[in-house]
Structure 1
């Protein structure tokens, strides 16, 4: 039986709640990678390299379990392909394609809409109860995201325009919601690390033909140390580390509560943009934070 917030140990709960605030920072590194990649490495090549390295690292940690349970692999192989397509192909390559024509903070803002989809679908499909406090938390956090999106001017929402890069990210957001729900809905005999390793392998299978097409017909990649550095950075932090943390949080807290960690994306992406790219942090970011952070607490509390 999977742990729930009421049955998990105190140590598991402390770890899961700490990861709520750490994981979005790991993912935001991927937004920087998406902005640095154009002109260095093609989107599918970057995603394939990222998950190939991540699969090797994760596999080194769980190879004994994979070997012991190899007989059960065939029963779940189709699920790993589906999860890999959603989580590693779409939420990998599509983000890098979108990053060619949108900003890092826009990526964080769009991904912050995913918890609403996850929370609603969890209540309808997985029958996860979303109490009044959790509902209020989702509303507060969403309000903070919208406040940042419109830069403190609510009238600006009516004038928003979506560019092609944002459209690619929007597709990735919807697929991330589906990935999160299926990860919770489909039980597995494999532990979190082994399951993530096999999911990454499923993603690699899907990515290979698209990477080949990309190299032959669209955007060839030249091997360079900078490209290798981007692959390793994406593989280590927003790849293996972030997805492993997300699996642990889902197992302990549930899909609806864990989905709200994406609300921290706009705050983290703004901070990283300021520290790394020299972007300004405006007063509306602070107001948004005052809404988002209490929303996170209410949405994830026991």
Structure 2
């Protein structure tokens, strides 16, 4: 009887972990499409405006489902409002605003490839914040991944490092990588005992005022934009897939698998992004994109494959 209960419990745990990984896979597909859309529409849509109206729509859609949960859990939520506001600034206000700004100055391929630095940044920040010291294999993996990104930035000629000048878009994306890694680690550190949809709703609610300030500054000094019917399909996608579903899947993945393991899934984004960029944006893929992307993937596998939870995740049910 005990063996049966244990087997059922193991099977359930494995199913939960597999669902978390599937959610992370879908998250990276949704975010790759988000990068493609940002690159495709950015000449017409101001970046911070795109981010603001994206989250306003998501907030409206989430309210009927999440607001009752927030009201019910308010005594638990109230002591965490200040740290939640910090997470909201990082995830809602800053990360995607930086990504959309970057889309004005670099390619969708570069956006998704530079995003593969997120696992490295997560490992380093987790070391400082959570005390998770990188192992030797993790250090080797990080070095290989950094080499991959340098290949991309130097267009395959590493001596260019001596005179390397980052494009504005690349710098914005590197900043976005650090912002997202910090958010992921701090989210894990908080260990909120709340459903993912409740956490997302709180982040959007707390992040929107900061986005409105950014929108006002952008409208006055750079470009004023209001959504039009022509862009309804764009925002409909942004409201549902890279916003609501992706953030819920990511939060669940961080909680179930830990920030380091969840970040490993980012290595899938360049694959999705490259395929989509070739099909829809006619962007060119060169050998240094392929080699750099493979370096990032191999480096992350070396860095995270020995993690304690991975053997459990990939263990087949018996």
- Scaled by the length of structure 1, the TM-score of the pair is 0.86
Go from structure 1 to structure 2 and tell me whether the alpha carbon gap of 1:213 and 1:288 turns closer, same or farther (over 3 Å shift): closer
Partner of 2:261: 257
Go from structure 1 to structure 2 and tell me whether the alpha carbon gap of 1:139 and 1:164 turns closer, same or farther (over 3 Å shift): closer
**Deviation string for 1:133-182 (max 9, x for gaps)?**
55555444444444444444444444532122322222222211211111
How far apart are the structure 1 equivalents of 2:14 and 2:143?
28
Match of 1:124 among 128, 140, 147: 128
Partner of 2:315: none
Contact 2:120 2:142 in 1 (8 A): yes
What displacement does 1:14 show? 0.8
Task: Return 5+ residue gaps in structure 2 as ranges.
Answer: 1-9, 311-318
Partner of 2:182: 178
How far apart are the structure 2 equivalents of 1:113 and 1:293?
10
Match of 2:98 among 94, 99, 117: 94
Name the SS for the 2:71 alignment partner: helix
Contact 2:94 2:176 in 1 (8 A): yes
**Alignment length (residue pairs):** 297
Partner of 1:242: 246
How far apart are the structure 1 equivalents of 2:231 and 2:90?
24
Contact 2:141 2:301 in 1 (8 A): yes
Go from structure 1 to structure 2 and tell me whether the alpha carbon gap of 1:21 and 1:130 turns closer, same or farther (over 3 Å shift): farther
Q: Are positions 1:71 and 2:71 aligned together?
A: no
Largest Rg, 1 or 2: 2
**Deviation string for 1:116-135 (max 9, x for gaps)?**
12102212321336545555
Name the SS for the 2:224 alignment partner: coil
Contact 2:121 2:177 in 1 (8 A): no
What displacement does 1:259 show? 2.0
How far apart are the structure 2 equivalents of 1:125 and 1:285?
32
Partner of 1:218: 222
How far apart are the structure 2 equivalents of 1:157 and 1:294?
22
What displacement does 1:238 show? 1.8
Match of 2:17 among 7, 13, 17: 13
What displacement does 1:191 show? 1.5
- Scaled by the length of structure 2, the TM-score of the pair is 0.82
Name the SS for the 1:112 alignment partner: helix
Q: Which moved more, 1:176-185 or 1:29-38?
A: 29-38
Runs of 4 or more off by more than 6 Å in structure 1? none
Q: Are positions 1:274 and 2:274 aligned together?
A: no
Go from structure 1 to structure 2 and tell me whether the alpha carbon gap of 1:272 and 1:247 turns closer, same or farther (over 3 Å shift): same
Contact 2:119 2:300 in 1 (8 A): no
How far apart are the structure 1 equivalents of 2:120 and 2:185?
12
Contact 1:258 1:300 in 2 (8 A): no
Task: Return 5+ residue gaps in structure 1 as ranges.
Answer: 1-5
Partner of 1:196: 200
Go from structure 1 to structure 2 and tell me whether the alpha carbon gap of 1:19 and 1:48 turns closer, same or farther (over 3 Å shift): same
Root-mean-square deviation over aligned CA pairs? 2.7
How far apart are the structure 2 equivalents of 1:8 and 1:135?
33
